[in-house]
Amino acid sequence: SAVISQKPSRDICQRGTSLTIQCQVDSQVTMMFWYRQQPGQSLTLIATANQGSEATYESGFVIDKFPISRPNLTFSTLTVSNMSPEDSSIYLCSAERASYNEQFFGPGTRLTVL
């Protein structure tokens, strides 16, 4: 399995600011993903972070709000831009190696927007 770390583990932010979340995998992976888990709800896929190209966003999520970078095969960032209280969620990074056909998840970043 892959070990995934995220920074920060939690943060409290003011409305209108932006936060960048980092995701580091301990080995090269083919695919990386970002999910959101809103309070009391399930995980929802935000986007697939593509190495060397623009991320692929799911319906309801846009690049201006959630810009994503993936400069190499082990690292990705998600920025939550112009935050509002509705963005308060846990944001999770996951990674997949094609040969494993399963995703490994990071510990998540708990974001509270005031």
What are the residues binding other proteins (CB under 8 A)?
Answer: 4, 31, 33, 41-45, 48, 58, 92, 94, 96, 101-108
Measured in degrees and rounded to the nearest 5, phi and psi for residue 87 equal -85, -5
Burial 38-50 (b: 16+ CB within 10 A, else e): eeeeebebbbbbe
Q: How far is the CB of 92 from other proteins (least distance, A)?
A: 7
Q: How far is the CB of 101 from other proteins (least distance, A)?
A: 5
Q: For residue 72, give both structure tokens.
A: 């190499």
Q: Which is nearer to other proteins, 36 or 83 (CB)?
A: 36
DSSP 10-53: EEEE-TT--EEEEEEESS--SEEEEEEE-TTS-EEEEEEE-TTS
Q: How far is the CB of 16 from other proteins (least distance, A)?
A: 30
Q: Which is nearer to other proteins, 29 or 83 (CB)?
A: 29
Q: Which is nearer to other proteins, 40 or 85 (CB)?
A: 40
